[in-house]
Structure 1
């Protein structure tokens, strides 16, 4: 082996030995090492002594220990058994041991218990599914303070007309109040990720809007499939029309509504969009009220998306 490669390998090995654990990139492991960022996230969470806190991806427990000191209980979800052992070691035999509950496994496949608040430096590859797992969780929690990749965080708060405005923006803002609360540079992590990060505060809307979320998301998938297209163009797509026609026929058979031989789904959709001034609208400039109006228009005319 050439000398340079041997020296580099040796340096990497020493670094890992110093850290005690080789971090697993498959799990998106980037440990938050800056105590000021940790303290700031905990302050933004406004924890109470009676709170049960959910932490996703506690890593080596830098934030966990601080939260255990301030709350009734911390439920930590961790997929990596090596980090679970590290976390258990930190509280073993001390007064905090009984306040910590560890759930070992994939948080996306785990049924979450009751919690008041969620604070997490998330593995970035599960950002989107975890947001909706949390927002559809019942009973409601007070708020979540979550670390995301910066562009993902900007998508969450984007407004109609913004470059990053997308289905994720609309879905999240339908179910929660979302605020960007701080930026975090990559050097605050070990090892540093390739991207900058931001912390977001999510506060679920309670009660939630009285709509079927699957229907709502089905509508948004069509509208945002090509967000710069007009709705008229998006709904003329053969695949979309086939799906809507199938659903409409099921609706009619359940309600005993006769379908004429000359029934044309394409014409029905075009008429609904044109008569209600949606034909020329584009998803990228529509707000939540526009989409709620569109869903209501379709549903009251027997057109369904799930």
Structure 2
């Protein structure tokens, strides 16, 4: 009988091989094995003994155990029940047992509790939605020290004009200050991922800018659909015009405003873009202030994005 190969789907992590745990690539399981990287991440987080720390994807608990040494409480969110059992085993009968609270499930679908800090080696496939789930979480947390795939981390900190500057960059920087902390080579993980990693520090802006985030998100979505095209070209797309016309009609209806006779949404949008001198601008060169100015001009004229 031919031998069934399982190596392609997952690899055995030596420390838990005896429990028969296979690492699941669908969950992005790459365990950080270098204790010096873990120590450096905790130092950058500036933990206090009174802190409640959220950890997403604790894996076998290498970072969790270090967090438990320094924090008041650790909330670990883990989707894989086999790793939950491994984590519970590590704290069983230790002073840390009472300090660890494990939430079993998908971090993106779980209602997160209060926390002061978030420290995590993030499963790479949930990077983007997790960043925004954290940034829109209330009450505010102090900061997050997170490990991401290197290119994703570079996008978070990219500035207007940079090759990697994108919607992710401007949306994140609207809500937080983001700093690159360190690079982490693939050999620091077991099994090694195919990509290099980086650690970033994210500090939410508190209070946040006085902007309806869904409106902002809708505007940047259109602008960055073709980030190298002019805004004039981006807003002349039929699908965009149709959606904005529908939003305008809804806005007028909700505010008891009569839609002007012969209203032409395309002409109105071109007028607004010209008024703020944005018609020939490209999203890849625009900063937060440029987008704020544009959003204000649209909203003032009854054009909405959510």
Tell me the secondary structure at the aligned position of residue 277 of structure 2: coil
Structure 1: 5+ residue stretches without partners: none
Given the two structures, how large is their TM-score scaled by the length of structure 2?
Answer: 0.95
Is residue 244–residue 303 contact of structure 2 (8 Å, CA) maintained in 1?
yes
Tell me the secondary structure at the aligned position of residue 253 of structure 1: helix
Tell me the secondary structure at the aligned position of residue 273 of structure 2: helix
The whole-number CA distance in structure 1 between the counterparts of 2:277 and 2:253 is: 29
Q: Return the offset for 1:257.
A: 2.5
Find the counterpart in structure 2 of residue 237 from structure 1: 237
Q: Return the offset for 1:13.
A: 7.2
Is residue 13–residue 190 contact of structure 2 (8 Å, CA) maintained in 1?
no
Across the aligned residues of Structure 1 and Structure 2, the Cα RMSD in angstroms comes to 1.9
Find the counterpart in structure 1 of residue 207 from structure 2: 207
Find the counterpart in structure 2 of residue 37 from structure 1: 37
Query: Are 1:70 and 2:79 matched, yes or no?
Result: no
Q: Residue deviations 1:87-106, cap 9 Å, x none?
A: 01111011111000000010
Q: After the TM superposition, which residues 94-173 of structure 1 pair with which residues of structure 2 at under 5 Å, given as runs? A: 94-173=94-173
In structure 2, do the counterparts of structure 1 residues 96 and 275 end up closer, same or farther at CA, with 3 Å as the change threshold? same
Tell me the secondary structure at the aligned position of residue 55 of structure 2: strand
Find the counterpart in structure 2 of residue 91 from structure 1: 91
Q: Higher mean Cα deviation, 216-225 or 17-26?
A: 17-26
Given the two structures, how large is their TM-score scaled by the length of structure 1?
Answer: 0.95
Q: Return the offset for 1:128.
A: 0.2
Find the counterpart in structure 1 of residue 250 from structure 2: 250
The whole-number CA distance in structure 1 between the counterparts of 2:208 and 2:13 is: 52
Find the counterpart in structure 1 of residue 277 from structure 2: 277
The whole-number CA distance in structure 1 between the counterparts of 2:58 and 2:256 is: 55
Q: Return the offset for 1:18.
A: 5.8
The whole-number CA distance in structure 1 between the counterparts of 2:297 and 2:13 is: 64
The whole-number CA distance in structure 1 between the counterparts of 2:255 and 2:12 is: 69
Is residue 182–residue 200 contact of structure 2 (8 Å, CA) maintained in 1?
yes
Find the counterpart in structure 2 of residue 178 from structure 1: 178
Q: Residue deviations 1:247-275, cap 9 Å, x none?
A: 11121223333223321111111111112
Find the counterpart in structure 1 of residue 193 from structure 2: 193
Q: Higher mean Cα deviation, 153-162 or 262-271?
A: 262-271
The whole-number CA distance in structure 1 between the counterparts of 2:65 and 2:176 is: 28
Q: Return the offset for 1:17.
A: 3.1
Find the counterpart in structure 2 of residue 227 from structure 1: 227
Tell me the secondary structure at the aligned position of residue 210 of structure 2: coil
